[in-house]
Amino acid sequence: MSQDRRAFLRNSGLGTSVLALGPLLAGAEAAAAAGTFDFETPLNRLGTDSVHWDQPLRDEKMSRIVAGMGVADMDFRCAPSIMTALAKRMQHQNWGYIDESAPGPEAFRQSIIDWNHRRHGITVMRQGNMGLSTGVHTSIAAALRAVAPPGSKVLMTTPMYGDFYADLVFTGTHPNESQMIYADGKYQIDWDDLERRMTPDTKAMILCNPQNPTGNVWTKAELTRIGELCLKHKIVVLSDEIHADFVTKGHKFTAFSTLDSKEVVANSITLSSANKSFSLPGLPIAWFFSTNPELFQRMAAQDRPDMNVLGLAAHQAVYSSGEQWLNQCVDYIDANHDFANQYIKANIPMLKVGRKPEGTYLVWLDAASVSEKIGAQASADAENKKSQPISRWTGKTTMVTSADIVGHWFARNAYVKLNPGTTYGKGAANCLRMNIATARPVLKAALDSMAGALKRLA
């Protein structure tokens, strides 16, 4: 694909007048009426200042890009109901402050409650125990400020989503990392280690379910065991369920708040959003709730939602009429998981994948053989002799890792952007995260390109 921004804008209509919205809307309405949505036709996102496609071109100094497979947003055209709702709201031509207690936002909160009841069996969420925030990161930061004073520790099972480490830096808390055991093609909690780490200075546990990056969907038994241990050791569970809608066939998502013990549930705050399910992080809104009034009040006191009108319109639209699109999207991604898992096992022997992920749209790859082949550690050591910038994750000088070098290698030789394991904590060395929420032809082109680059290396 070309990186020529002006040509892209010309072709996409983004640089032309808003009248170009007419055909777009007609297309969205036709898709909604037909009830089938197109995930297969690639959408060109280049030239939109996206982290997913544009940032790697710049940061990795790529001459071209076959696929952005990094940051966790999706490449698809959005649910048509979003386009219709945005276009309707645009007609008003005024963007003043929103009254969050007005009937509109109240109905919106109710639609979130209904969605979670219908889809995830959550019965304990109410208008009075839930709040809105700008994003799940904002919520995590507010929750940490509420329950984990600066200097205290936050428990996580690793490898773990890297941006949590940034939330910890932001709140002056420290990671307490319980590395998972990899056995039989799957990550598993090291229960002895987890409990050993439940020390008096550990005040919160970030539980990620489905887990980013491993794709684990925790069972009811696992969640109950975590919940009981945390209750015993006075550690508040922050259950990040942002990937809840992405579960592959044969697996079942269990919301933490549906566990049997009221005490266990009351020792938790659940945080989630449609930002992931409908790929709306550019129009972000998130929500949180706790059945424990004291925990809820402490968290709410740290929360400053700052809603935006278009975000509200988009999120209202998906909770009320986005479910059909999402169901088809989840099925498409499930098939992408099958495709990627089989392709890598058959054609890319230098990359190891375990079992098909149980959830998320992420694939966690072990690239140790590639790292060894390209001498990534020696390159990282050489880089670290030069002066390096301060990391936003740790607040300390960045250390280049072998996973970074492997990531750069794929960017420059396969023209594919992957996330290096560097920021995913203990147990992520030489791993890469691949986002497969894209049209299958793009996924295939990326895997072909990666396989080809590795063949040339052999």
Ligand X SMILES: Cc1ncc(COP(=O)(O)O)c(C=O)c1O
Q: Quote the CA–CA distance of 148 and 168 in Å, as a whole number.
A: 10
Q: How far is the CB of 403 from ligand X (least distance, A)?
A: 18
| DSSP state letter for 151 | T
* Residue selected from 171, 214, 257, 275 as contacting ligand X according to rule CB under 6 A: 275
Q: Which stretch binds ligand X (CB under 6 A): 273-281, 300-308, 370-378, 423-431?
A: 273-281
Place of tokens 């497969």: 436
Closer CB to ligand X, 68 or 281, in the complex: 281
Q: Which stretch binds ligand X (CB under 6 A): 113-121, 130-138, 186-194, 220-228?
A: 130-138
| Of residues 148-167, those binding ligand X (CB under 6 A) | 161
Q: How far is the CB of 319 from ligand X (least distance, A)?
A: 15
Closer CB to ligand X, 42 or 282, in the complex: 282
Closer CB to ligand X, 380 or 425, in the complex: 425
Q: How far is the CB of 162 from ligand X (least distance, A)?
A: 9
Q: How far is the CB of 157 from ligand X (least distance, A)?
A: 12
Closer CB to ligand X, 348 or 427, in the complex: 427
- Find the DSSP H helices in 255-350: 262-266, 274-277, 293-301, 309-321, 323-347
Q: Alpha-carbon torsion 422, 424, 427, 430, what sign?
A: negative
Residue 158: how many CA atoms within 13 Å on its side-chain side?
A: 23
Q: Which stretch binds ligand X (CB under 6 A): 79-87, 129-137, 179-187, 320-328?
A: 129-137
The angle that helices 376-385 and 402-413 make with each other, rounded to 10 degrees, is 110
* Residue selected from 62, 136, 437, 445 as contacting ligand X according to rule CB under 6 A: 136
**CB crowding 211-221: b at 16 or more within 10 Å, else e:** bbbbbbbbeee
Which x/- pattern over 170-209 shows residues binding ligand X (rule: CB under 6 A)? --------------------------------------x-
* Residue selected from 162, 227, 284, 322 as contacting ligand X according to rule CB under 6 A: 284
Bridge partners of 175, per DSSP, are 154
Is residue 52 part of the contact set for ligand X (CB under 6 A)?
Answer: no
Closer CB to ligand X, 241 or 405, in the complex: 241
**132 contacts 101 by C-beta, under 8 angstroms:** no
* Residue selected from 81, 212, 341, 430 as contacting ligand X according to rule CB under 6 A: 212
Q: How far is the CB of 170 from ligand X (least distance, A)?
A: 12
Q: Quote the CA–CA distance of 73 and 283 in Å, as a whole number.
A: 12
* Residue selected from 75, 177, 240, 366 as contacting ligand X according to rule CB under 6 A: 240
Q: How far is the CB of 108 from ligand X (least distance, A)?
A: 16
First to last CA, the chain: 27
Query: What contacts 433, CB < 8 A, 6 or more positions away?
Result: 70, 213, 362, 363, 364, 365, 418, 419, 421, 424
Which x/- pattern over 57-96 shows residues binding ligand X (rule: CB under 6 A)? ---------------x------------------------
Residue 285: how many CA atoms within 13 Å on its side-chain side?
A: 23
Q: How far is the CB of 13 from ligand X (least distance, A)?
A: 27
**Amino acid identity, position 51:** V
Q: How far is the CB of 132 from ligand X (least distance, A)?
A: 12
Q: Minimal CA–CA distance to 370: which of 435, 414, 425?
A: 414
Closer CB to ligand X, 171 or 371, in the complex: 171
Q: Quote the CA–CA distance of 341 and 186 in Å, as a whole number.
A: 13
Q: How far is the CB of 73 from ligand X (least distance, A)?
A: 8
Angstrom CA distances, 297 to 73, 147, 231, 361, stand at 31, 11, 19, 33
Could you tell me whether strands 67-68 and 416-417 are parallel, antiparallel, or unpaired per DSSP bridges?
Answer: parallel
**82 contacts 21 by C-beta, under 8 angstroms:** no
Q: How many residues bind ligand X (CB under 6 A)?
A: 14
- Find the DSSP H helices in 91-211: 103-120, 136-147, 163-171, 191-196
Bridge partners of 239, per DSSP, are 207, 270
Is residue 438 part of the contact set for ligand X (CB under 6 A)?
Answer: no
Bridge partners of 315, per DSSP, are none
Bridge partners of 204, per DSSP, are 154, 236
Is residue 273 part of the contact set for ligand X (CB under 6 A)?
Answer: yes
* Residue selected from 242, 340, 439, 454 as contacting ligand X according to rule CB under 6 A: 242
Q: How far is the CB of 245 from ligand X (least distance, A)?
A: 12
Q: Which stretch binds ligand X (CB under 6 A): 133-141, 332-340, 369-377, 441-449?
A: 133-141
Q: How far is the CB of 211 from ligand X (least distance, A)?
A: 8
* Residue selected from 56, 131, 227, 281 as contacting ligand X according to rule CB under 6 A: 281
Q: How far is the CB of 143 from ligand X (least distance, A)?
A: 12
Residues that bind ligand X in the complex, under the rule CB under 6 A: 72, 135-137, 161, 208, 212, 240, 242, 273, 275, 281, 284, 286
